Amino acid sequence: MRHNEIRDITGSLLAEVCKDVEVEPNLLTLNGERDLLNNAAKVNDEVRLDVSARGFWIPGQKAFFDVRVFAPNAKRYQRKSMKQCYAINENEKKNHYMQRILQVDQGTFTPLVFSAAGGMGNECKVFISRLSSLIAIKRDVEKSIVTNWLRTKLSFALIRSLLLCIRGLRTAKQTVVTSSNNIELEIYITFI
pLDDT tens digits along 93-116 = 998 888 888 888 889 999 999 998
- The percentage of the chain sitting over the pLDDT mark of 70, rounded to a whole number, equals 77
The answer to whether 152 and 118 are in contact (CB under 8 A) is no
The answer to whether 66 and 109 are in contact (CB under 8 A) is yes
How confident is the prediction for the chain on average, in pLDDT? 84
Res. 40 pLDDT band, cuts 50 70 90: low
Q: What is the mean pLDDT of residues 125-148?
A: 96
pLDDT above 80: residue 167: no
Q: What are phi and psi of 54, to 5 degrees?
A: -95, 130
pLDDT for the residue numbered 64: 96
pLDDT in tens, 53-101: 999 999 999 999 999 999 888 899 999 999 999 999 999 999 888 888 8
pLDDT for the residue numbered 191: 46
pLDDT for the residue numbered 192: 44
Burial code (b: 16+ CB inside 10 Å, e: under 16) for 74-94 equals eeebeeeeeeebbbbbbeebb
Closest alpha carbon to 113 in 104, 126, 122, 105: 122
In whole angstroms, what is the distance from residue 93 CA to residue 50 CA? 12
Least confident of 25-29, 142-146, 163-167: 163-167
In whole angstroms, what is the distance from residue 25 CA to residue 176 CA? 38
